[in-house]
Chain A
Amino acid sequence: MNAIIVSALLGVLLMFCSWGIKSERLQKNITLIGFLVLIVANLAQLNGWYVIDFDTKGMLSFSRFGLYANTLLFIVTFLYIWINAEEVDQIGHQSGDFYALFFFILCGASILTSFDNLLMLFIGIEILSIPLYILTGADKKNLLSNEASLKYFLMGSFSTGILLLGIAFIYGATGSFRLEAPQIVPSKGFAIEQYLLSAGLILIFAAMNFKVSAAPFHFWTPDVYDGAPTVFTSFMATIVKSAAFVAFVTVFHGQAKSLGNSWELLLSFVIVATLLVGNITAVFQRSVKRMLAYSSIAQAGFMLFALYGVSDFANEGLLLYMVVYSLATIGIFGVLIKMKEYSFEAFHGLGKSHPLLAFLTTVFLMSLAGIPLTGGFFAKYYMLNAIMVAGAGLWLVIVAILFAAISVYYYFKLIQAMYFVPGTPAIKEVDKIYTYKLLVVAILLLVLGVFPNLLFNYLYF
């Protein structure tokens, strides 16, 4: 509750800030302070202190899991802005507007971590998505950015429509928008309600797959990620996707059983398709940015494992995966932003000219590939454990592992480009402080790679 209110207020504040305050530096600092306030407000609620407390009539419910997910999302966003603020300033005239949009997106995210009602799910998704359409098109003079924005908007609207249709079907079947509505029991023989419920859930499933860019609803992802300004791609691929995943899990951990056995079939199909499309296509990319777009699809395939069954591993694993994947992706995009062009050739010789930056990139890539000693390993480990516990077939685990091995191929291709091929990297000037900021992210990844439990201690106590 605190997070929703405070983030919305901060969003409004920032919007007017850009009107009165011309200094971009000041705006950035206000934003960062705003984030600290937001984190504190959210933590306050975790400890039972509310800004406003009222009965939401079953619209929202605040679980420890949801609030903790909020905290993590805010912290990651804080790091993101801390690292990328200068780049945000370079896009458009008024960076204050963008900061305002970030806060609105987080407002949507806070709703997605705490909804208890399908209408709130819809509202959360909309609040989250609309600012994203704007951010995608932020680079107004760039045709690609415009194209991406329009594409994203059209496709996104369709998927929202499908979501609404699904919600309507479920309402028709159960007479309630509540997530935990009494399940209808088919009286005898055919019960139309049962079909309506299943159809509704499958439609919601499709719409949510669109939001997290899982195959076969992924087609927008490469174009939008590629066309959007790189800073915003980094934000979309991490924080936004994570928030959507929390919502995804919240809906289906409760409702999946009404789909019966076909649920596992459906989910397995989507997982395998996502891993296949993401990994195989990423192998053939010539642009690092596009490779990362496909890799983000592939990573979504792994995160989908959290849906397979309700267990501690699934919940903890999702949080860990969210954080680790976001940190690594923000890091690698942080490096990418500094490149003059996004081809693999641009990275040639980076190991020689910028040893620390190249090392950090290596850590980020290794984390994405899931190599031990980086957080990515435990994230993947938890996910595999989660489906093992949920009783999925061993074949699914083996498929996942094979695709993880393929992913090593394209992540390491970049490492090879940096270290083993001589050349002059096409890189802009990188100041020391910026590199140190990325170093902080890399250290976090390494710490989580040895002590992932640091993240969970707070989840329970």
Chain B
Amino acid sequence: MFLLSFLLIPIIAAIVLLFIKQDSKAQVVAVGAALLSLFAAIYIITNATGAFDAAWLPVLNSRFVLQTDGLSKILILLTAISFPAIFIATGKNIVENKNVFLSLMLFTQAGLMGVFLAGDALLFYFFWELALIPVYFLCSIWGGEKRIAVTFKFFIYTFLGSLFMLIGIILVYSKTADHNFLIESFKHANLSSAQQAIAFALFFIAFAIKMPIFPLHTWQPDAYEQSPTAVTMVLSAVMVKMGLYGVIRWLLPLFPAAANGHAIMVIDLSVIGLLYASFIAIKQDDIKRLIAYSSIAHIGLMSATLFTNRIIGTQGVLIQLFSHGINVLGLWIIADIIEQQTGTRSMKNLGGLAKKQPTLAILLVAFAFANIALPLTNAFIGEFLMFNSLFQYNPWIAAAAGVSVVLAAIYTLNMVQKVAYGNISESVDKMTAPNKNAQGVLIVLIVIVFVTGVYPQPLFELTKDTLQQLFVK
């Protein structure tokens, strides 16, 4: 029953927000709801909660099942941290019709929570779409200049992907013993190997578009660049995790044989994408695009590791899901502060941040270190485990993927150098007093970065049960 609160809190708040015209009040309601979800998330992590199960569509035998395990909990925690952080950090930004904006954001949150909680395939599909639709409106209304075309491309891409998943769901459903959508029945569906391969492909397309895996990534950099930054944060910190979550929760357990058979293809594509994105990131001048490509690279590494199907690799991914979210969130918040105060995202026009705003520059450097997975930061432990797993699978692939670490250092440090050091440029000179709220959020995030970097044990504990389910038969 308690799990229902993850859906109800944001949805109720979102509906209430539609009737609050005053910006400051709307902001308070949104932050309040987001913090309430965060407390709820902390509660389910520290206390055991039962699954929620109610009849939904008796005709189809679909049930409204919400359940949690380590994988869900870690992503719920990430979602629950991200939303208040985003609301507080970008609260000062001027947005037209702010209450509608915040309301749509909270609907997105409800959709995301639903995706991570659903234990029934049809329900999962439902939330999968529900998370997408508000984002479509958020980007198209409040986005940049080319927003309409870019968002439409993003929408059609992901919608087509999820339609393929729907066919997959129908296919597996028709082969389950007692015709229902529960994940357990799906695992024991009676599929021939040919059918399993088809179903695998259908699910995989949906997840691959969402992650995204090369060559299905083309929607992403444009969408990240054109979306309002608050939405970009949601997209890259939380929403891409939907794809990885789908792989871990549905794809690998449902079609183990097919996943094994296609592993080499997926790993190759992921590694190609990883290198490709890293090289492109080096050439970027726009901070937002740079972070976008860097994010594609990180996701590529995670998806490659998942398909090696080894326990240490999967452990690494589970931790990295959380760490990557926190790190990229930090980078986006810094990028947003810079853009809001200087009016530019082009690194050519930036420089001298360290002299003008030392605190912000220090935070930037810290998050940059986390982005290249330096020891002591949270990303290190995850990447270490992932490379370990890749190496066990195939040393050559690990070596190829390893190049990306070097490339990541190049583009990240290059950005730090151009933005933070050098003479104070004209646009940086315009920067006014630091944005206290945003810096507060950044400090909280950086604490998380180092605490989980030095002492990741709680994250290991949290995800133990998922690994057991996946690997101990």
Binds B, one of A255-263, A290-298, A404-412: A404-412
- In the bound assembly, the distance between CA atoms of A48 and B351 in angstroms comes to 84
B interface footprint on A350-374 (CB within 8 Å = 1, 0 otherwise)? 0000000000000000100001110
Residues in B with CB closer than 8 Å to A401 are 160, 163-164, 166-167
30 contacts between A and B (CB under 8 A): A316-B59, A366-B133, A372-B125, A372-B129, A372-B130, A373-B130, A373-B133, A381-B166, A381-B170, A385-B170, A389-B174, A398-B164, A398-B167, A401-B160, A401-B166, A404-B163, A405-B159, A405-B163, A408-B155, A408-B156, A408-B159, A412-B152, A412-B155, A416-B140, A416-B148, A416-B152, A420-B147, A451-B57, A453-B59, A456-B59
- Inter-chain CA distance A420–B137, complex, in Å, is 9
When distances are taken between beta carbons in the complex, the residues of chain B under 8 Å from A421 are 148
Task: State the CA gap A388–B163 with chains docked (Å).
Answer: 15
Residue B126, interface by CB 8 Å: yes
Taking the complex as formed, is A397 at the interface, i.e. its CB lies under 8 A from any CB of chain B? yes
**For the complex, is A217 an interface residue (Cβ under 8 Å from B)?**
no
With A394-B198, A401-B167 already in contact, the answer to whether A419 and B137 are too (CB < 8 A) is yes
User: Are the CB atoms of B141 and A371 closer together than 8 Å?
Assistant: no
Chain B residues within an 8 Å CB radius of A384? 166-167, 170
Q: In angstroms, how far is the closest chain A Cβ from the Cβ of B147?
A: 7
- B20: interface (CB < 8 Å): no
Expressed in whole angstroms, the Cα–Cα distance for A402 and B202 within the complex equals 13
Q: Is A452 among interface residues, defined by CB-CB distance under 8 A?
A: yes
Question: In which size bucket is the chain A interface?
Answer: 20 to 34
- Residue interface bits B257-298, CB-to-A below 8 A is 1, else 0: 000000000000000000000000000000000000000000
B139 nearest CB across to chain A (Å) = 10
Q: How far is the CA of A316 from the CA of B59 in the complex (A)?
A: 10
- Shortest distance between the CB of B166 and any CB in chain A (Å): 7
A6 CB to nearest B CB, Å: 31
Q: Which secondary structure dominates where chain B touches chain A?
A: helix
Encoded as 1 (CB less than 8 Å from any A CB) or 0, chain B from 161 to 201 comes to 00110110011011000000000000000000000001000
Q: Which residues of A contact B (CB under 8 A)?
A: 316, 366, 371-373, 381, 384-385, 388-389, 394, 397-398, 401-402, 404-405, 408-409, 412, 416, 419-421, 451-453, 456
Q: Considering only CB atoms and an 8 Å cut-off, how many residues of chain B contact the other chain?
A: 28
Tell me, yes or no, whether B458 is within 8 Å of chain A by CB.
no
Question: Complex formed: what's the CA distance from A385 to B172 in Å?
Answer: 11
A371 partner, pick from B133, B164, B170, beta carbons under 8 A: B133
Give Cα A453 to B156, complex, Å.
Answer: 29
Residue contact B137 to A453, C-beta cutoff 8 Å: no
Smallest CB separation, A391 vs chain B (Å): 10
- A420: B residues at CB distance < 8 A: 140-141, 147-148
B125 proximity list for chain A (CB < 8 A):
372
Name the residue of chain B whose CB is nearest to the CB of A372. B129
Contacts of B126-158 to chain A: CB distance below 8 A: 126, 129-130, 133, 137, 140-141, 147-148, 152, 155-156
Contact A388 B171 (CB under 8 A): yes
**CA of A397 to CA of B155 in the docked complex: distance in angstroms?**
21
Closest to A369 in B: B159
| A412 and B125 alpha carbons, distance in the complex (Å) | 21
CA distance A453 to B137 in the complex (A): 30
Structural contact, A394 and B140, CB atoms closer than 8 A? no
A402 CA to B156 CA in the complex, in Å? 11
* Chain B nearest CB, measured from A31 CB (Å): 34
The answer to whether A453 and B174 have CB atoms under 8 Å apart is: no
Q: Are A397 and B170 in contact (CB under 8 A)?
A: yes
Closest residue of A by beta carbon distance from B147: A420
| Interfacial chain A residues near B148, Cβ < 8 Å | 416, 420-421
Q: In whole angstroms, how far apart are the Cα atoms of A398 and B165 in the complex?
A: 11
Question: Which chain A residues border B140 with CB–CB below 8 Å?
Answer: 416, 419-420
CB distance from A369 to the nearest CB of B (A): 9
A-B CB proximity, top 7 nearest: A372-B129, A405-B160, A401-B163, A453-B59, A372-B126, A420-B140, A420-B148
Contacting A at CB under 8 A, from B425-458, are: none
Q: Contact at B170–A452, with CB atoms within 8 Å? A: no
Bound state CA distance, A452 and B160, in angstroms?
A: 23
Tell me if B126 and A373 are in contact (CB < 8 A): yes
Q: Which residue of chain B lies nearest to A391 when distances are taken between CB atoms in the complex?
A: B174
Known contacts A384-B170, A452-B59; 11 additional CB pairs below 8 A are A372-B126, A372-B129, A373-B130, A373-B133, A384-B166, A389-B174, A394-B167, A394-B171, A397-B167, A401-B167, A456-B59
Docked Cα-Cα span, A408 to B57, in Å, equals 26
Interface centre among A366, A404, A420 (most CB of B within 10 A): A420
Alpha-carbon distance between A349 and B59 when the two chains are bound, in angstroms: 42
CB-nearest residue of chain B to A394: B198
CB distance from B353 to the nearest CB of A (A): 35
A330 to B170, CA, bound (A): 30
Contact across chains for A388 and B59 when beta carbons are under 8 A apart: no
Closest residue of chain A to B133 (Cβ to Cβ) is: A371
Complex: how many Å from CA A372 to CA B57?
A: 14
Contacts of A385 in B (CB 8 A): 170, 173-174
